[in-house]
Amino acid sequence: MRVPEGFRLTAAGSLVRCGYESRLPDWVQRARTAGESVGIGGRGGLARAPLDDGAEAFVRRYRHGGLLGTVLGEAYFGRPPRPWRELVATEAARRAGVVAPEVLAAVVEPFDGAVFGVPYRGVLVTRGLEQRRTFREALLEASSGEERLRWLAVAAAAVRQLHTCGVRHPDLNVTNLLVGDSLDEKVAVIDFDRAVAGTSPVGWVGRRMAHRRLSRSIGKLGLPGLSRAQARRELAVVLEAGR
């Protein structure tokens, strides 16, 4: 994998955005002691770090979920490393105009005794977004069915833009979409772990899988008067309307 434009590969095997090299040791140290659970955008430990311009960086440790989490914990294998792949997919989405986190560093920290850097721990450092409210919260707080449909429409626009630029996101759900206070603001897409950036728009099968994942997530909210089947239909309507 080529080093993405605007990033530098360190001797330790991490990719850091140019201009932020001096911050890397602090981020790595914060990652080792991160204990805050991640409510949105992945699993594992989370730490926060101030940036010079007054913004905030989020330092997220990678951790397997489910049974793999019990067995492997934070140990990852394979090349290119998982943080690098998330960086590439996120940057592809951002270049296409999708609102997504600005990645500041994709850290790869080999375990003691690792061979060729495997196994390793992964850390991703991103700049905080202006959108801080989850799509889940927006739907639950909608005052009417009409407002809910409008939220669905702006979320569907973000999903279409993502698929048009060729990025296949495997976990589009109501917590991996962030919104602002106004319906006029674009929806942000987060957590590109396991996402894949292609060279052509996402095909019908990939789009359908993503839509089903999102509609299932909406259906589980138990919104008043909205069953899972109705959630699928409402989402399908707004997706079709935007074609």
Single-letter amino acid code for the residue at 36:
E
State how far the Cα of 93 lies from the Cα of 79, in Å rounded to an integer: 22
- Tell me which of 70-79, 156-165, 190-199, 229-238 is least confident: 229-238
Using only C-alpha atoms, what is the Rg of the chain? 18
Residue 243: pLDDT band with limits 50, 70, 90: low
pLDDT given at position 216: 87
- Judge contact between 175 and 134, C-beta under 8 A: yes
- Report pLDDT for 38: 47
Query: What is the residue whose two structure tokens read 């311009």?
Result: 53
39 pLDDT more than 50: no
User: What pLDDT was estimated at residue 240?
Assistant: 66
Give residue 96's pLDDT.
95
Contact 161, 187 (CB under 8 A): no
Per-residue pLDDT at 242 exceeds 80: no
Report percent pLDDT > 90 for the chain.
59
Structure confidence at residue 44 as a pLDDT band (50, 70, 90): low
Q: Is the peptide bond before 25 cis (omega within 30 degrees of 0)?
A: no
Q: Give the residue with greater pLDDT, 173 vs 110.
A: 173
Say what the pLDDT of residue 215 is: 87
